[in-house]
Structures are given as C-alpha cells and as structure tokens.
Amino acid sequence: MPNKVIIIDYGSQVTQLIARRIREAGVYSEIHACTVTADEVRAMQPQALVLSGGPASVGGADAPKLDKGLLELGIPVLGICYGMQLLTDTLGGRLAQSHTREYGPAMLQITSQTPLWKNVPETTKVWMSHGDRVLDVPAGFRVTARTDTLDVAAMANEERGIYAVQFHPEVHHSVDGTRMLENFLFEIAHLTPDWTMSSFVERVVEETRAKVGDKHVICALSGGIDSTVVAVLLNKAIGRNLHCIFVNNGLLRAHEVEEVQSLLGDNLDINLTVVDARKRFLDKLQGVEDPEKKRKIIGHTFIEIFDEEAKKLPQVDYLAQGTLYPDVIESVSSKGPSAVIKSHHNVGGLPETMKLQLIEPLRELFKDEVRKVAKELGLPDSIVWRQPFPGPGLAIRVLGEVTEDRLSILRAADSIVQEELKASGWYRKVWQGFAVLLPLKTVGVMGDDRTYEHVIALRVVDSVDAMTADWSRLPHDLVAKISGRIINEVSGVNRVVYDVSSKPPSTIEWE
Ligand code: XMP
C-alpha cells in the first residue's frame, strides 16, 4: 500500500480540496467523517492526519469533538480552521467565541519559523475563514503567524508534530498553500510521493485478481470513461472471466456503438456482448412525453435486458461498477444527501435481485485521476476527454415524444456540434456541448418556398462538477458555423437557437 494521509471531515465545503491537493503532491489521502474513532483510524495505518475546517463553533451544542486518541497515534497532525480551534480547545488553550465570521483574503505574517513555512515568504496572501479565534495557544505550542486582525493565525508544537493554521491552505487563493501542504507531507511527515497512476493500476489489477479468483464478473459498459476504464482494468486482471455488456438502446449518438465495439471488443480483445435493443426501447417509449417517465422506462428496460444477458452467462458472482471517490465521500461524510432534482439513471447501479457482490476499482479516485489512469492504460483521447453523456441518452434531448425520425434529426445535428467543437479546440474547454431537438416547429424561408420545420437548441456549458454551470461564451463565428451547417445539412431543421441560461436556476439538460 502507498503512504496514506487521513483527513477528518468536520463539514467544510472544501474538505475534498484538501484530499485533492495532497494527492496532486503524490500522496494518497482519504476523507473520513468526524465520527470515526481513534481506534478505527489506527487500523487504517495512516502516516499523517489532517483535521479539516467546518462550520461549527467549538462551544456550540452539537459541535463535533476531537477524539483525543487521534493525537496519541504518534503521527503528525495538521489542523485547518475548525481543526485548529478543536486542537486549541482539546489541548487546554483558550478560544474567544464570536458571532461574526471573517471570510476572505488576508495577509499572513510569519512570526516564527517552522518546517511548515519552508520556502514560504514572510508575508503571503491566504484565504481566511474563522468565527471563533484562538486567544491562548495550548501548553507546548507557540504562535507561528499572525495577520492584521488575528494575533494567532497559526501555531505549532514541533516536538509533538502538531501544526495548525486558521486559514485554508487548500484553496487556490492561498498563494503558498500548496507549498505549505507539501511541507507538511515531506518536511514534517517525511512521506514519499508514491501515489502514481501506474502503481495504482498494478495494485488494483493484483487485488482484483486475488479477490475474484476464478469467479466471473459482469460489467455494464456505457461508452463513457469510467466504465471503460473499469473494463480495461478488469480485463487485465481476469481476462475472459470478465463479461461486458453494452446495450444499444437506440438512444446513442452517431457511431457510438461502432466505436465501443472497435476499441474494446476488437482492439483490446475484451469479452464484450453488444445487445441490439433499439426496437425494444423505442416501442416502450412510444407516446411518452414526460421526462421522468422516459427515465424510468429506460432504467427498467435496461435492468431487464442486463438481467436476461446475465442469465446466459456462467455463474456470475460480481458486478463491476465505475463508482468514483466523490460518491463514496457523499455517503460516508457527515453531510446530508443533496436533493435529487432529476432521477439519474446510471448504467451500473443495478439489479438488486441478482445478489451480486460489488467490485468498484475506481472508488478511490477523483475524476481527473480516472483520466490519468485512462492515459496510463493507453486509451485514446476520445475516451480520456469524452464529455459526460446521460444514461437515458438522446431520449432526454428529444423533447416530447421519442421517435426514430426525431432521433435521427437530433443525431445528425449533434454530430455537427461535436465535430465543430472538436475542430475549433472548444470541445476540451467546455464541460458539455450538445444539440437538443425542441417539440415545436417554426416558419422559415428556403429559396422561394416557405418552410415549417424543427428547431434545434445548442446547449454548451462551462462547469467544474455539473452542480452549477454557466453557458459558454463561444465565439460568434463558431456559433454561426454550427448553426449554418445544421440548417443546411440536416433536413427538417430551419432554425437554431443558443441557450443562454445558467444552472441554477436552469439545468444543463433540457429534460
Ligand atoms: P442537469 O441537467 O441535472 O445535469 O443539470 C447535470 C449532469 O448530469 C447529467 N445528467 C444525467 N446523467 N442520467 C445520467 O447519467 C441522467 O438521467 C442525467 N440527467 C442529467 C447531465 O448530462 C449533466 O452532465
């Protein structure tokens, strides 16, 4: 196993960033809810500990506490923000309560050198966040930095390897924050940066082989990066005992089926079954206009087919899924689940009746790390940089009833969007870009004739995690080119509009 840093999550919005920065520095890190006990943490055998920030006030009624045993593990500890206040309170220092929060940039002045400040200038901009403040540091600690408004902005007990900062080194606004985190990892905890994607691939392949033995694993492919990487990793580990199922639901974009077949089935020689279920999905979707109904029908039909395919195989014991680390954190951390706005159907979250055990080789990874693994595995850019594509596919982009005719209009228009985004270099700059077929017709003129035809909406957004998004400021010339090509080349379309709404209050998809 690589070195491991455990981050205890006290509920800050940016705890994930701590994990990411540490991993970017080449050290594996995991986030655990603040209810974890010292014994549980000891069993995980970490080499260092970070206490995150959080919204609570240490004196508050439901404020999370620090298990003192965590400080007896004999490993270095870094407290950030609330983590610093917890350390102060637990170790006998004194805090001043405050009802107002100071939040924003501040100039940090280093007042006493520690290894945490190695190569950090004496004054440096940091992102401050605090309500309560430290008045007296605990015995054995000294103040190591201040700001104009805060006498104790950082403190340290070098002998015990305990360091604390009142600001957020993990956010980009803290100019030397990354260096400070690296100092904690390499100067204080003396870790080696051994978290690399090639070592990850090696380890996962070995672990999977050991776990699965000669049993069989089934895996639903969606054509996206996550399930593709899962399939390639498992293929390396267990070869023919992996059974991949790709369902052609008739709701895919142009050439998608051929691309999956050629890359995974032909080039990589993965055990792949492509199920042609186009008619079955379209029959079930006939006459259905409600977006949520469409999603449910597609989800259920997918499960039925997956189940039927599984029955044709030898005894299967495992289901492989492309679960990523952020999903894992969502379910373990102290945060409540965020509201479900649309019932997302993802291939993979599948059939309970099958009583399969899960294999989730990517559950330790952030999305950017999955991309690195995909590169490490030699997958082409078309997979590594593929934009997200919803499980219900084009069905939620054909507004209103989904028919073969309307799907082919959308597919042709969408192909042009993809082509032009790629050719102009914008494909990788935006989060998602696609066409939507609207459920209305408008009047146009072509030559001497009046036309009455479909409208395509162009939806292109910038986002970091799809939770919020803004419409992309594409160059007008590019929008003009896409619009011109769609109207000229896709018969049945005489108008293209550009969607200029952000999320919230709109959503990225139109249904
Ligand atoms: P919205 O439209 O909710 O989309 O802003 C956020 C992200 O999720 C994708 N999306 C889906 N993905 N099944 C999926 O697998 C779905 O039903 C679904 N609906 C939306 C959307 O493409 C965007 O990336």
65, 184: one domain: yes
The 10s digit of each residue's pLDDT in 352-362 is: 666 789 999 99
Point out the ligand 1 atom lying closest to the alpha carbon of residue 432: 24
Instruction: Return the pLDDT at 137.
Output: 98
CA gap 509, 414 in Å, rounded? 14
Is there a domain that residue 508 lies in?
Answer: no
Q: Sheet holding 316-320: strands in order across?
A: 272-276, 242-248, 216-221, 316-320, 357-359
Instruction: Return the pLDDT at 102.
Output: 80
Q: Choosing from 30, 34, 130, 168, which is the catalytic residue?
A: 168
Instruction: Return the pLDDT at 332.
Output: 56
Is there a domain that residue 489 lies in?
Answer: yes
DSSP code, position 188: I
Mean pLDDT of 23-44: 95
The 10s digit of each residue's pLDDT in 282-298 is: 999 999 999 999 999 99
Instruction: Return the pLDDT at 220.
Output: 95
* Ligand 1 center to 481 CA (angstroms): 27
Is there a domain that residue 483 lies in?
Answer: yes
Domains identified in the chain, total number: 3
Max Cα distance, the chain (Å): 89
Closest alpha carbon to 52 in 22, 82, 29, 32: 82
362, 462: one domain: no
Portion of the chain with pLDDT greater than 90, in percent:
86
Last residue of a domain, one of 384, 405, 421: 384
* Ligand 1 center to 390 CA (angstroms): 5
364, 252: one domain: yes
Residues 6 or more apart whose Cβ sits within 8 Å of residue 84: 51, 134, 154, 155, 164, 165, 166
Residue nearest to ligand 1 atom 9, measured at CA: 390
Mean pLDDT of 91-100: 88
Q: Are 434 and 414 in contact (CB under 8 A)?
A: yes
118, 41: one domain: yes
3-state secondary structure of 83: helix
pLDDT over 60 (residue 325): yes
226, 307: one domain: yes
376, exposed or middle or buried, with CB in 10 Å at 0-12, 13-18, 19+? middle
Closest alpha carbon to 253 in 467, 398, 470: 398
Residues 6 or more apart whose Cβ sits within 8 Å of residue 280: 301, 305
22, 130: one domain: yes
Last residue of a domain, one of 351, 384, 417: 384
- pTM of this prediction? 0.85
* Ligand 1 center to 170 CA (angstroms): 28
Closest alpha carbon to 125 in 142, 107, 137: 107
| Residue ranges lining ligand 1, Cβ < 6 Å | 295, 341-342, 344-346, 388, 390-392, 432, 466, 503, 507-509
Point out the ligand 1 atom lying closest to the alpha carbon of residue 391: 15
Instruction: Return the pLDDT at 435.
Output: 98
Instruction: Return the pLDDT at 330.
Output: 66
Residue nearest to ligand 1 atom 12, measured at CA: 390
54, 21: one domain: yes
Instruction: Return the pLDDT at 71.
Output: 97
pLDDT over 80 (residue 336): no
pLDDT over 50 (residue 345): no
Mean pLDDT of 66-78: 96
Is there a domain that residue 510 lies in?
Answer: no
Portion of the chain with pLDDT greater than 70, in percent:
95
Instruction: Return the pLDDT at 328.
Output: 81
Instruction: Return the pLDDT at 13.
Output: 84
CA gap 29, 23 in Å, rounded? 6
pLDDT over 70 (residue 338): no
* Ligand 1 center to 435 CA (angstroms): 14
Instruction: Return the pLDDT at 8.
Output: 96
Q: Which amino acid is at 323?
A: T
Residue 32 is among the residues annotated as catalytic for this protein:
no
59, exposed or middle or buried, with CB in 10 Å at 0-12, 13-18, 19+? exposed
79, 170: one domain: yes
227, 175: one domain: no
Is there a domain that residue 506 lies in?
Answer: no
The β-bridge relationship of strands 77-80 and 162-165 is parallel
Mutate to test the pocket of ligand 1, among 402, 508, 510, 511 (most ligand atoms within 8 A of CB): 508
Q: Which amino acid is at 477?
A: D
* Ligand 1 center to 508 CA (angstroms): 7
Point out the ligand 1 atom lying closest to the alpha carbon of residue 341: 3
Give the least confident one: 256-265, 335-344, 400-409, 454-463: 335-344
Q: Choosing from 30, 32, 34, 81, which is the catalytic residue?
A: 81
Three-class secondary structure assignment of 378-427: CCCHHHHCCCCCCCCHHHHCECCCCCHHHHHHHHHHHHHHHHHHHHCCCC
Instruction: Return the pLDDT at 301.
Output: 96
Average pLDDT, the chain: 93
Mutate to test the pocket of ligand 1, among 225, 342, 347 (most ligand atoms within 8 A of CB): 342
105, 254: one domain: no
Instruction: Return the pLDDT at 62.
Output: 86
207, 295: one domain: yes
Torsion region of 51: left, alpha or beta (phi above 0 gives left; psi -120 to 50 gives alpha): beta
Domain extent at residue 446: 397-498
Q: Rg of the chain's alpha carbons, rounded to an integer?
A: 27
The 10s digit of each residue's pLDDT in 439-492 is: 999 999 988 899 999 999 999 999 988 889 999 999 999 999 999 999 999 999
Residue nearest to ligand 1 atom 17, measured at CA: 344
* Ligand 1 center to 509 CA (angstroms): 6
The 10s digit of each residue's pLDDT in 155-200 is: 999 999 999 999 999 999 999 999 999 999 999 999 999 999 999 9
Give the least confident one: 201-210, 330-339, 497-506: 330-339
Is there a domain that residue 441 lies in?
Answer: yes
The 10s digit of each residue's pLDDT in 190-238 is: 999 999 999 999 999 999 999 999 999 999 999 999 999 999 999 999 9
Residue 173 is among the residues annotated as catalytic for this protein:
no
Residue nearest to ligand 1 atom 22, measured at CA: 390
Closest alpha carbon to 320 in 212, 421, 201, 416: 212
Point out the ligand 1 atom lying closest to the alpha carbon of residue 506: 5
CA distances 58 to 6, 94, 132, 152, 453, Å, are: 21, 11, 8, 17, 63
277, 363: one domain: yes
Last residue of a domain, one of 384, 407, 430: 384
Q: Are 103 and 76 in contact (CB under 8 A)?
A: no
CA distances 240 to 95, 229, 235, Å, are: 62, 16, 7
Instruction: Return the pLDDT at 334.
Output: 42
Residue nearest to ligand 1 atom 14, measured at CA: 390
* Ligand 1 center to 127 CA (angstroms): 32
pLDDT over 70 (residue 340): no
Q: Choosing from 30, 32, 130, 170, which is the catalytic residue?
A: 170
Residue 81 is among the residues annotated as catalytic for this protein:
yes
Is there a domain that residue 507 lies in?
Answer: no
Point out the ligand 1 atom lying closest to the alpha carbon of residue 509: 2
Which domain CATH number covers 429?
3.30.300.10
Residues 6 or more apart whose Cβ sits within 8 Å of residue 306: 218, 220, 245, 247, 350, 351
Which domain CATH number covers 160?
3.40.50.880
Which domain CATH number covers 237?
3.40.50.620
Instruction: Return the pLDDT at 347.
Output: 41
pLDDT over 80 (residue 349): no
* Ligand 1 center to 194 CA (angstroms): 35
Is there a domain that residue 315 lies in?
Answer: yes
